[in-house]
Amino acid sequence: MIRICSTEDIPKGTAISADVDGTQLAVVHAEDDRFYAVYDECSHAAVALSEGEVDGCTLECWLHGSRFDLRTGEPTGLPATEPVPVYPVEVRDGDIFVSLTPSNGVTR
């Protein structure tokens, strides 16, 4: 697991972009008060998901409006039809750690 930042660095309902050993991640503090990490690129277009809106446990791509479930990576709204990789997250002592092995089996 790789330390990303403090939990205080990501207010609830927001996302940040993090470069972890060359892999761009969107790290999200979802409205369920949990932290999630997904590959920071929409599967429909090469757009950073970290710049999109958090809605519940989904992240919306700002360009075309595709939504992705943060727990599974599955698209919940068109035009995206392919899932994005989801990475395991652990919170330890107020810090966020991420593994670069996708938990949903999707690779980029």
Which domains, and CATH codes, for the chain?
Answer: 2-98 (2.102.10.10)
Could you give the CA distance from residue 3 to residue 52 in angstroms, rounded to a whole number? 23
Neighbours of 41 (CB within 10 A): 19
Task: Compute the average pLDDT of residues 91-95.
Answer: 98
Task: Compute the average pLDDT of residues 11-38.
Answer: 97
pTM, entire model: 0.96
Sign, CA dihedral 97-75-39-60, equals: negative
The whole-number pLDDT of residue 108 equals 81
The whole-number pLDDT of residue 11 equals 98
Could you give the CA distance from residue 16 to residue 12 in angstroms, rounded to a whole number? 11
Distance of CA 73 to the CA centre of its chain: 8
Above 90 in pLDDT, residue 75?
Answer: yes
